[in-house]
Chains A and B, each alone.
Chain A
Amino acid sequence: MIGRFIVRRVIIALFQLLGVSLVVFFLIRLLPADPVANLVGLNASEEAYIQAERSLGLDKSLFEQLSVFLGFSEPSGLVDGSLGVSWLTSEPVFHEIGRFLPVTLELVTLSLLLSFLIAIPLGMASATRPGSIADKVALIWGMFAGAQPDYWWGLLFVFVFFYVLGVAPPPMGSIDPMMSRPSVITGFLIIDSILLGRFDVFLSVLYHLMLPVLTLVFVISGAITKMVRQNMVRALASDYILYARSCGLSKKEVGRYALRAALTPAVTLVGIFYMILLSAAVTVELVFSLSGIGQYAIRSILTFDYPAIQGVVLVVALLSLFIYLLLDIIHAYLDPRVQY
């Protein structure tokens, strides 16, 4: 039963991805920006312009460009799993993204996990002890619902912890610039450094990720706390909790009952939080000079690097669809009321 559900969702996701690719393809080509002029300069000769245009493949008709993109013409395309070649660096986009994406994922996943560690107990405390300090903090923080200027908070943290207090490193990347990078296995520095036994790198990464993670945690934990709190309050006031108490289950057991009922419907919200953090990561990476997908996106967009832009959008969309699917499966597993 669940197999059919997954298959159906994967098929839908593939169609959605196709939709995303088509939309981004046409969108960027229908907008007035001129990537050729960007590449060649405003004072270039007519000849140079035409030559540049040809080299970028922009002299072909829209339809021809589309078939190149999809992979139905000579060079490989989407159908073959290729995202084309960056106009800026001439490197395959797929490889570039493979380098940049893990950095962001590392940052976002770490931040989300830490946020849950903080927000769930806070939300629970707020729900079970209304009127307490925890409750008031949770209430105010939760009001933002994830809307924080992360770039500003990042800078503020840099100022306080680096400049004033001196406990954090300068915002210059994932590891100490003097240190040699370990060779790439997974692309996730934390994992790679452990695998290679480079504990100096491991510690340096944690040290450098401190502030960026703090920034992202700050952005999202309020929203998570609010969600946990709301769901807990609803669960605690429910009939089945009252009934469980009346059957003689201890407060602790009943608390676990309530938590289970409170967190399950919130599983899909995790996906939304992940995507909020992904968006926030774009500017946070800029502040802390981390070479993540956000940086790559900024670079590609500002230089009108079409293949890179398409690649970024596709990969991030793929990521979000994957995460939502995973969460929906977990949700369906946890909550028997969900039909599939």
Chain B
Amino acid sequence: MSMAEGRGRGRGRGRGQGQDSAPAPRRWLFARLDAFSGNKFFAFGVFIVALSIFLAAFGAMISPYDPQAATGDISVPPPPITEWPRLFYLAISGQLERPPHWFGTDQSGLDVFSRVISAPRADMTIALGGALISLFLGTFLGLIAGFYRNWATELMMRVSDVLQAFPVFITAMILVSLAGRETGNLVLALALVYTPIFIRLTRSEVMAQSARGYVQAAWAVGNSGFKIAIKHVLPNSLVPSLVQLSVTVGFAIILTAGLSFVGAGVRPPTPEWGIMISVGAQQLILGEWWPSIFPGLAITVTVFGYAIVGHAIEQKFRET
């Protein structure tokens, strides 16, 4: 079968008669969403991602209780799930004098539900910040390393290799403990730890794309190296990194919470999932499961949402 023939699919018509002057990014976005909309699974993932960002911004504002103030109700277990619809109705119609403790309270009287939905401000900010910085930095460096192959870029790759040999959790712990447990340091620590992955991924894809025909053709048409790197190679090398981004955000959330869990992350009393799990761990063994289980459940579901989105991106762009 002729290679080219196998790929062609008959003549298509242009999307709009006249110019392709419709704003390209918007058209592109709608076309992509269109293709995805049939998939309920993906919708769930997007919902989770959106929810995590929404709660990061507004979680503390909409929580029924102040996440850092004791409510006076100590170690109250959560109401059984069968009760929830009734309680919800009562709460909405204002028949309760105080909002219900959906997830119970811990031994200090803090409302677990409020803390769980306020925690994304810390967790998501740090995780997203770290992941995004490492994406940008890693992609930028990976593009250079893949496109211009000389002694300087080789040296950079060796340095990146050395960084990758560092154990992730321990390195992050070192950075945060010794630099100070500030949010900024946490973000930077994550960025440092995850950048080598993106460098490697982007570089590998850039090298593969540079061997493709359209890059050769771009040279032949008369582009300079810089133009080719930016116009042609970069946009076509992003897919693996974008897929990896979702997974990295998942790892970052777990790392952030994990650092806090061992005492090297966010400082109490900031509401944060890892701290909650750690504090509730003692009680868990004695049967009081809700202070630890709910925050962890939140982590798992959030990471799952990001994983679904990453999987969907991978599936969709595998054809291109």
Contacts and interface: CB of A to CB of B under 8 A. Distances in A.
Chains A and B share a contact (CB less than 8 Å): yes
Contacts of A294: 169
A294 B161 CA distance: 23
A149 B178 contact: no
B174 A301 contact: yes
Nearest to B167: A316
Contacts of B281: 155, 287
B155 to A, nearest CB: 11
Contacts of A321: 165
Contacts of B293: 152, 155-156, 159
A159 B289 contact: yes
B49 interface: no
Interface in A108-153: 143-145, 147-153
Nearest to A151: B261
A147 B254 contact: yes
A167 interface: no
Contacts of B166: 20, 23-24, 313, 316-317
Contacts, number: 151
**What is the size category of the interface that chain A forms with chain B?**
35 or more
Interface string B140-159: 00000000000000000011
A177 interface: no
Contacts of B263: 298, 302
Nearest to A281: B169
Contacts of A302: 177, 263-264
A150 B299 CA distance: 11
A16 interface: yes
A112 to B, nearest CB: 16
Contact of B174 (A28, A156, A278): A28
B104 interface: no
B23 interface: no
A87 interface: no
B56 interface: no
A158 B285 contact: yes
A69 interface: no
Contact of A301 (B168, B170, B295): B170
Interface in A281-300: 282-283, 286-287, 294, 297-298
B178 A162 contact: no
A104 B307 CA distance: 28
A203 B311 CA distance: 41
B46 to A, nearest CB: 14
A155 B277 contact: yes
Contacts of A149: 254, 257-258, 277, 296, 299-300, 303
A147 B307 contact: yes
Given A147-B250, A152-B300, A163-B285, A316 B170 contact: yes
Contact of A144 (B158, B169, B295, B304): B304
A33 interface: yes
Contact of B177 (A23, A159, A163, A301): A301
A153 B292 CA distance: 10
A153 B281 CA distance: 12
B190 interface: no
A97 interface: no
A30 B156 CA distance: 22
Given A32-B179, A149-B254, A283-B261, A143 B308 contact: yes
Interface residues of B, number: 50
A13 B308 CA distance: 37
Interface string A318-340: 00110000000000000000000
B225 interface: no
A129 B67 CA distance: 49
A144 B250 contact: yes
A55 interface: no
A316 B167 CA distance: 7
Interface string B282-313: 00111101001101110110011001101100
A143 B178 contact: no
Contacts of B168: 275, 279
A29 to B, nearest CB: 9
B19 to A, nearest CB: 41
B57 interface: no
A151 B277 contact: yes
Contacts of B178: 28, 31-33, 301, 304
A24 B162 CA distance: 11
Nearest to A278: B167
A162 B162 CA distance: 42
Interface in B166-215: 166-171, 173-175, 177-180
B96 interface: no
Contacts of A23: 162-163, 166
B306 to A, nearest CB: 8
B47 interface: no
A282 B169 contact: yes
B91 interface: no
Nearest to B302: A149
A320 B166 CA distance: 9
A79 B246 CA distance: 43
B124 interface: no
A153 B165 CA distance: 27
B300 A171 contact: no
B62 interface: no
B69 interface: no
Given A151-B261, A317-B166, 8 more contacts: A27-B175, A148-B254, A155-B296, A163-B285, A282-B169, A282-B258, A297-B170, A298-B262
14 contacts: A20-B165, A32-B180, A143-B308, A149-B257, A149-B300, A150-B254, A151-B257, A152-B299, A171-B285, A279-B167, A279-B170, A282-B169, A286-B261, A320-B165
Closest A-B pairs by Cβ, 3 of them: A152-B296, A31-B178, A147-B250
